[in-house]
Structure 1
Amino acid sequence: MERRLTPSELIRERTRFSSDRPHWIRPSYDGYGIVNLPWSILAALGAEPAGQPVADILWPAGLANALDAVLLVVIDGLGYEQLERALAEGDAPGLQHLVGDGVSFPLTSVFPSTTVAALTALATGEPPARHGLLGFTAFLREFGMLTNLLFWSPLGRFPSYATTGLDPRSFLPVRTVAERATEAGIQTTVVSPEAFRDTPLTKMQTAGATFRGYRTAGEFVAQVHAALAQPGKQLVTAYWDTLDTLGHFAGPDSPAWQVEFRQLDRLLVEELLARLPRRDVLVVITADHGMVPLDPERQYRLDDPALLAGLALPPAGERRAVYFHPLPEQASAVAERVRALAGSDGVLFERTRLFQEELFGPPPHHPEAWHRVGEFVLVAVGRASFPWDPPGAQPRPFLGAHAGFESAEQLVPCLLWRR
């Protein structure tokens, strides 16, 4: 009798990038990715999904019977492979108990597999090519400049466009999950660090929701419990960001990251979930992306004067998914220089191929998506990276990063546990 594939094997088989890139994962927008998760959650609460939910083979039938609340916990930067290692090594006894008592499977992130693009996908149920936030930095024709999309500001040390009176919500062309939930009679709350309360990106992603800020772990738990204790149908999204921060600056395999993860395991299971103020709760634990430890010997700075002279704009995107906008008549020369710089540590794609293969997501696309992605996109292989820092910036050493197609950055956990 033929052995049935595990969920992990199934998703790896369905999303394998190519035979010559066996460790790369193709982001799924058709039932096996984080972009599908919001539609499953809305359906579980009785709302009509406007997009494709998670595939039936992964999402158990009857999971939402008599359900009045969903708690979605988003752990920034927690990759599926990191979680699997932690469970195997006994570093996450609380989550191990939930896995045994619930349902667990991986989902893919989006491309680029990075916070701005992926969190917005979770907040809207739409892929990057549709919501338009296509990386850490991108060229915005609307403003005529290279823009930091995390801060919604010109690249460099500049204030946000919001300070000029522009409305961040109007920049996002799609509806949020919170807006859809509110229309369906579901109260929606986002629990996130207090420092993010009034940032433009938060205003885009949380439109339609009540924001509850926290400063400490204890306040995080208290704010989630207070939101869930309200009567009626509830969708509460709780966001935790410290693992991502430590992954970048200490490394995703560092002792500091491991200590933080063990503390988070106890916080989630012994404090947050053990004392939920109601019983009719579906808990969904997931992440926006994973992370790759970087090799300092495979870091290639994009400061070659000859390369920069051939560009209409500085390199944009991410250090593991770089966007290049060559000057007219310079495309071939730029491509040749980038390939020579990267060698076997990077793969240079033409923008046309990435859109044709729907790696940013299927159509219809944001009208500016094509222009926000460079003519060429360099994707890092293994532990390589391709940083570029604007003049005057003081570079910080990165020991971990994400944005590409490696399975460590593309696959994230999805754990379902019914209280």
Structure 2
Amino acid sequence: MENKELQKTLGISAALSTVVGMVIGAGVFFKPQAVYSLTGGAPGLGIMAWVVAGIITIAAGLTTAEVSAAIPKTGGMMVYIQEIYGEKLGFLTGWMQTVLFFPGMVAALAVVFAEQATALIEQPGLLLPIAVAVIMLVAFLNTLGSKTGGAIQTVATVCKLIPLILIMIFGFIKGSGENAILTPMVAENVNFGSAVGQVLIAILFAYDGWINVGAIAGEMKNPGKDLPKAIVGGLSLVMAVYFVVNLAYLWVLPANELATFSAPAAAVAEIIFGEVGGKIITVGILISVFGALNGFVLTGSRVAYTLACEKTLPGYKKLSKLNKAQVPAASILLVCIIGSLYALSGQFNLLTDLSVFAAWIFYILTFMGVMKLRKEKPDLERPYRVPLYPVIPLLAIFSGSFVLINQLFFAGMKSSLISVGGIIVTLIGLPVYNAMSKKVK
């Protein structure tokens, strides 16, 4: 069954809400704790890193949008890399996304959803059952059709912005505004160089998800025109929201106190609105995380489906079938089952660090691919071209490489082990590809 049989039902609003919905998820609510812990409770590097990571992400989005528009096929980054570098590297990208990135992100979001839900109902013993249950619920909803998945994104995006807007407005009205914002950059006992990379990898999780809208290009009505608008417009909105809401956090609580709360947004809301307000914001967080979780299931399953269509994924006969609603139900279930297994670890930060590191290896290859395509296929139809070429692609490549090298070699033993683990899981795809290639032949 070919990819072209997927129905083209998604427009600019669904694509834009998918970008915003997948990016604004858990990160803006939970990562400030990790950020200010890494800076030793100092605000400067933390607040500036939200801007730097935003610039990096916009450069990445502007760069990748050219590839997305020139190769508007279902499968996203995997298909881009396959078209640019060949089938083996393309498969390795899809393998990493299918067995590591998407299930890892789904698991991390489910864990953090369950943490907030159990805190709300005061039943901590239900954390793992709720984490698995929410993954399975999202899997079921996505089997009903791509319009259902797109509708969930639109609703969740609107709902999640409400608590953020309330915090941004009333944080500045009711906060003291007496806390330090830009100084000191880091605490005296913190190494600035290594802290930069660690803070950026934490914040890049909060920005992650932008590239995956390309995975639904085959189901968009006008991908050449709408996809770049969705990526760039969505990221600009996200960057503005992230910067302002983090200023609002600091307006209410100092950085060293934010470092002590697992959900800084809820802590700030409780100070602004009282105990009831804190609970309301927690509900908003649950909706936000649910929308992000839905987005990763929606797009991640399309990657598994594309691999199955190419007969390179074990079990491809079942995974390449569409159900009555014309969506790849078996591929949706695959991503969610692996995600459920990862969720049993209960480790939010470990899962996010592992997933983001592995993904950025291939993001950088995609950025480099824009330059490779310009050189090798100058006549390729490009509905969109990255502005200020080659400055913006080079900025994306350099920035991403700095973060990866720092995480692998300079961020401590734990970070290095997590990074190496991601590389090993990815490389397992090579013998799988060789075995499946021989089997199909």
User: What interval of TM-score do these two structures reach, taking the shorter chain for normalisation?
Assistant: under 0.3
TM superposition score normalised by structure 1? 0.25
- When you count helix as a share of all residues, which structure comes out higher? 2
